[in-house]
């Protein structure tokens, strides 16, 4: 009986550890970039990627994002503790455990990339450098939102290379749209840190432009996203189902900016997660339906 109770306690602690780890890396936000990578994969495979490539791309995506988030938490350890919004992050995992997890996830990414093809393996260290660079940019430039966009934008390019073994125009058009999309919604999210960034003297575009001008720039960037998605449709030779879905994307972006205008935490978080998850999901569904029907 005692042994059984101990087992239950151990399982409970293990589950709590997993939950804390997933909260630390914001695993739920994987839904942002993953659909764009899968959409590019579906287009490159003309509708039906092999199970092997699909699985390896999924592994690469999860490992790359996990590595990026762990690196971000590791290098911002002391900074996050001073920010009221992020002060509790260091309680989720020790710094040494974070570094070990970072090494493991980065190695897993490179191994999975090597299992796809030679080009993905050769490019994997470069991909890691790009996604790690974002976490350092706030220390020397106010364009950090665009570096975050670039970190996510490499996902459709990588997925395309995984399927075809070479590069093409279509994933780069999509990547350009993702840069604008991510920079736009990250600007909205960054308005929450206006006072802290100003106090810490960080290179913040929101502080530099002001909150209202930052929100206007976010609107412009999301307009560029919509244009890029439409251009991608033409370059990738997608059909009416895909282009019809762009109306839903435009509606979600409109809702996002309308919610963000309130500048309250609830509205910003709703705009950040719900609207952007919807945008990426609609993109993937539209691509799949267009290629498979």
pLDDT for res 232: 98
Residue of 188 and 17 predicted with greater confidence:
188
Residue 27 lies in a domain: no
Residue 24 lies in a domain: no
Q: What percent of the chain has pLDDT over 90?
A: 49
Residue 69 lies in a domain: yes
pLDDT for res 5: 39
Residue 111 lies in a domain: yes
pLDDT for res 227: 97
Residue 19 lies in a domain: no
pLDDT for res 190: 81
User: pLDDT of 188-218, one tens digit each?
Assistant: 888 877 777 676 666 678 888 888 898 899 9
Residue 84 has pLDDT above 60, yes or no: no
| CATH code of residue 60 | 1.10.357.140
* pTM > 0.75: yes or no: yes
Structural domain total, the chain? 1
Residue 17 lies in a domain: no
Residue 75 lies in a domain: yes
Query: In Å, how far are 169, 184, 195, 277, 291 from 282, measured between CA atoms?
Result: 22, 18, 35, 9, 14
How confident is the prediction for the chain on average, in pLDDT? 83
Q: Which of 4-13, 59-68, 80-89, 239-248 comes out lowest in average pLDDT?
A: 4-13
Residue 122 lies in a domain: yes
User: pLDDT of 158-193, one tens digit each?
Assistant: 999 999 999 999 999 999 999 999 999 888 888 877
Q: Please compute the mean of the pLDDT values over residues 51-68 and round it to a whole number.
A: 92
Range(s) of the domain holding residue 129: 32-292
Residue 27 has pLDDT above 70, yes or no: no
pLDDT for res 2: 36
């Amino acid at each position: 009986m005692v042994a059984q109770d101990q087992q239950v306690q151990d399982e409970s602690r293990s589950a709590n550890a997993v939950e804390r780890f997933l909260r630390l890396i914001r695993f739920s936000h994987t839904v942002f970039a993953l659909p764009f990578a899968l959409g590019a994969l579906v287009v490159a495979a003309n509708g039906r990627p092999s199970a092997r490539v699909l699985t390896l791309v999924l592994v690469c995506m999860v490992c790359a994002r996990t590595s990026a988030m762990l690196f971000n938490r590791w290098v911002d350890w002391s900074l996050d503790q001073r920010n009221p919004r992020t002060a509790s992050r260091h309680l989720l995992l020790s710094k040494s455990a974070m570094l070990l997890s970072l090494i493991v996830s980065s190695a897993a990414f490179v191994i999975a990339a090597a299992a796809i093809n030679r080009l993905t393996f050769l490019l994997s260290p470069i991909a890691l450098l790009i996604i790690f660079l974002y976490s350092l940019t706030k220390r020397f430039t106010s364009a950090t939102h665009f570096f975050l966009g670039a970190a996510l934008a490499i996902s459709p390019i990588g997925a395309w290379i995984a399927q075809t073994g070479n590069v093409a125009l279509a994933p780069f058009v999509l990547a350009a749209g993702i840069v604008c999309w991510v920079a736009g919604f990250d600007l909205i999210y960054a308005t929450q840190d206006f006072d802290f960034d100003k106090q810490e003297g960080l290179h913040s575009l929101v502080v530099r432009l002001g909150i209202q001008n930052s929100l206007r720039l976010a609107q412009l960037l999301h307009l560029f996203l919509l244009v890029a998605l439409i251009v991608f449709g033409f370059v990738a030779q997608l059909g009416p189902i895909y282009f019809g879905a762009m109306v839903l994307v435009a509606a979600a972006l409109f809702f996002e900016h309308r919610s963000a205008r309130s500048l309250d935490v609830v509205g910003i978080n709703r705009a950040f997660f719900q609207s952007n998850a919807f945008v990426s999901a609609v993109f993937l569904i539209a691509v799949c339906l267009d290629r498979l029907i």
